[in-house]
Structure 1
Amino acid sequence: MLANQRLEFTGNPAHRPENPHKDSPRHPEPYVVSPELKKAVNLAIYLRRPLLLEGDAGCGKTRLASAVAYELGLPLYRWDVRSSTKAQDGLYEYDAILRLHDVQTQKVEQIQLAAEVETDEQEDEERVNRNPANPKHYRKFGALGKAFQLKNHPAVVLIDEIDKADLDFPNDLLTVLDDPWEFKIKETGETIRATHKPIVIITSNKEKGNLPAPFLRRCLYHYVDFPNNAKRLQEIVEKHYQICEEESPPPPDLVNTAIERFLTVWNEGGLFKKPGTSEFLDWLKALHTFEAKPYSATQLKKDKLLPYRELLFKLQQDWKKYAKAS
């Protein structure tokens, strides 16, 4: 891939380059991208601004990063945010305790050598390659740190569920995801500057309310709608079975009936946690292949009790709502 090549995401995994990066996803993502979302991704790539995605759980926010990285043949570095996450965690970690341990181990070995004491023949190969005199051997790069080090092409960085972190976390990221796109490692004295600005995709479920205004101004924003219509779910099913060739696709009449029943459940209200597309695909697979005799469209229409509801409902209230035939 040429460094100055204009990147464009089309939503077609067949456009993957012949020689993708070794850290690029190895398997295509069965992702159906809307024209609006495709344009948002390409704007983010062109402007090199983070793309902030919001939407209901299961609408495909997280999987988009994998689809982009696979098609473009770029490395994907994922950063799963937790309540204790700090901005530095995505840049690097420095293991001072390991360095101190290696210093002490080195002293012991020198004493043993001077006393001609036999040591274990099976040495720790990783430790042998570390030198306590070199602090660079004790820093480990995070998702953004890895992306900043790439010299020939950008990376795709997924910052997943940013709203789980402390409220200061998004603003702390601004010092890195903006010019001059660099950070310092105080323990080694290094300054790491991005040769190619990464393609940053950020997801949020608004668990702690709105993100800070300065951070939102820096991002492009797109709300990912759940594919709440039969045509879009049909496209997702077709794409899924095109890519997952080892799975036999269900007959069209079963697919259509399953979509109709799923959307009825999804739209009738009263659910505390609505199922997403991944739950729907698992449910459809179970209908088609779990039993020795698969469900037929007619059987699914007649069955008052929703089959395999274990795959669709993850909260007690929702489970009980569909535990009895209506």
Structure 2
Amino acid sequence: MSSWRIYQGVDQPHDGIASLPAPPPWRDFGSGGTVTPFDREVPAAGRHRLPRGTAYRADEGTIEAVNTALYLRRPLLVTGDPGVGKSTLADAVARELRLGTVLRWSINSKTTLRDGLYRYDSLGRLEEAGLARHRAGGRPTGRTELGRYVSLGPLGTALAPYALPRVLLIDEIDKSDIDLPNDLLDAFEEGGFEIPELARAADQQETVRVRPAGGGAAVVVVRGAVQCRAFPFVVLTSNGEREFPPAFLRRCVRLHLPAATGDEDRLRAIVEAHLPGVGAAADAIIAAFLDRAATGELATDQLLNAVYLMSRTGAAGAPGPDRLVQLVLQHLNVTAPVEA
């Protein structure tokens, strides 16, 4: 029997997603509609920057939770303190399984479901129609192509008919209006949604091509309906600032990422993954980090910043290790500025 692990938490991208079994009958969204292609390779992030997720190190619990969500075609709700890698998990899965660029939807208190699904530029359509009539001397100008005025949001794009799942990060869902988690349930349960502006015009334009978030091939929408073929891999992150309704929670696979601030071996592995070659030279900074983490809140990215700076302090005028710790490893739950 092949490995149960589709996502393995390894460094090298692979085609394990092809081994994902058929979904449970109650999560099968069919195979109709025109397949939308997408670029499965995560583009390089730049000459001096690794692609997101490259240095992520998943533990056993995380690997099991990701695979559970993949098998069940359910969203993964990831909780934990800031800086533990909640958002980076989406990038790591996308990179390893070759599922393209992550679709990102950042949430705030004013975010609505429609913000994530699609945008319809009604004003632009009216302006262009008026301009066309003016050029034609007031005569009717025929139909306009509605797809020019519709663009899909990150959630709407994730629910487009791709043959393989797209990866969607819904970041900081706990900052949303109280109704948004419940509003998401219909889209998650149905695996699709309707664009009313296109549905109303379906008798005149049954098929419309619309722009997806992040670019790429246009999505073919028939009679206003967007329906997924493969349910996306959805990561919802939360810093634990609020509770979620039971109806929402029971439709998610839940994962809590504990802080690494007290685990010396894990911290050393994180440092080595992000800054290979530092080795024992980082031990003094890690020890200082552990000492300070015992008396206040710190995040692992502060440790990475400190280790990086430590490797650049050989030049004249650079601060010493103790001063560097003062500058970078400041407690997050204290607002007093560092002393000069």
- Please give the range of the TM-score, normalised by the shorter of the 2 chains: 0.7 to 0.9
Contact 1:55 1:226 in 2 (8 A): yes
With the length of structure 2 as denominator, give the TM-score of the two structures: 0.75
After the TM superposition, which residues 62-211 of structure 1 pair with which residues of structure 2 at under 5 Å, given as runs? Answer: 62-75=87-100, 76-111=102-137, 133-178=144-189, 180-189=190-199, 190-207=224-241, 209-211=242-244
Q: Deviations over 1:94-124 (max 9, x none)?
A: 1111111111222333349xxxxxxxxxxxx
Structure 1 position 310, deviation (Å): 4.1
Residues 1:211 and 1:132: Cα distance change in structure 2 (over 3 Å):
farther
Q: Which of 213, 217, 236 is the aligned partner of 2:270? A: 236
Q: Is the 8 A contact 2:285 2:325 kept in 1?
A: no
Q: What is aligned with 1:281?
A: 304
Could you tell me the percent identity over the aligned residues? 32
1:317 to partner: Cα distance: 3.2
Q: Which residue of 2 aligns with 1:121?
A: none
Indicate if the aligned counterparts of 2:13 and 2:95 stay in contact, CA closer than 8 A: no
Q: Deviations over 1:138-189 (max 9, x none)?
A: 11101121122243211111100001111110000000101x3120000001
Partner Cα distance (1:77, 1:191) in 2: 20
Task: Point out 4+ residue stretches in structure 1 off by more than 2 angstroms.
Answer: 15-18, 20-26, 107-112, 293-296, 308-320
What corresponds to 1:60 in structure 2?
85
How has the CA–CA distance of structure 1 residues 233 and 160 changed in structure 2, closer, same or farther, with 3 Å as cutoff?
same
What's the counterpart of residue 67 of structure 2? 42
On the 8 A contact 1:24/1:73 being kept in 2, the answer is: yes
Distance in 2 (CA, whole Å) between partners of 1:157 and 1:216 is 18
Letter in 1 for 2:186: T
Distance 1:25 1:266 in 2: 36
Equivalent position of 1:10 in the other structure:
8
Structure 1 308/257 Cα, relative in aligned 2: closer, same or farther at 3 Å? closer
d(CA) in 1 for partners of 2:230, 2:152: 17
Q: Secondary structure, in 3 states, of the residue corresponding to 2:334?
A: helix
Cα pair distance change 1:16/1:9, threshold 3 Å: same
Partner Cα distance (2:177, 2:166) in 1: 26
1:17 CA displacement:
5.0
Query: 2: CA distance between counterparts of 1:223 and 1:64?
Result: 12
Name the amino acid aligned to 2:249: L
After alignment, is 20-29 or 165-174 more displaced?
Answer: 20-29
Q: Is the 8 A contact 1:309 1:319 kept in 2?
A: no
5+ residue gaps in structure 1?
1-5, 113-130, 243-248
> TM-score if structure 1 supplies the norm length?
0.78
Structure with more helix by fraction: 1
For structure 2, the 5+ residue unaligned runs are 17-37, 45-50, 200-223
Q: 1:241 to 1:234 in 2, by over 3 A?
A: same
Distance 1:313 1:12 in 2: 33
Counterpart residue identity of residue 148, structure 1: L
Aligned residue pairs total 281
Q: CA 1:280 to 1:319, structure 2 compared with 1: closer, same or farther past 3 Å?
A: farther
Secondary structure, aligned partner of 1:289: coil
For the 8 Å contact 2:75–2:253, the answer to whether it is kept is: yes
- TM-fit CA distance, 1:135: 2.1
Contact 2:285 2:307 in 1 (8 A): yes
Aligned match of 2:26:
none
| 1:212 counterpart = 2:245 | yes
Amino acid at match of 2:77: L
Query: What is the CA-CA distance between 1:289 and the residue it aligns to?
Result: 1.2
Q: Match of 2:312, as an amino acid?
A: T
1:40-77 Cα distance to aligned partner (Å, 9 max, x none): 01111111111101111111101110111011110311
Shift of 1:32: 1.2
CA contact (8 A) 1:182 1:191 kept: yes
Amino acid of the structure 2 residue aligned with 1:135: L
- Contact 1:29-1:67 at 8 Å conserved across structures: yes
Specify the structure having the higher radius of gyration (Cα): 1
Partners of 2:167 and 2:232 within 8 A in 1:
yes
Instruction: Tell me if the contact between 1:287 and 1:294 (Cα under 8 Å) persists in the aligned partners.
Output: no
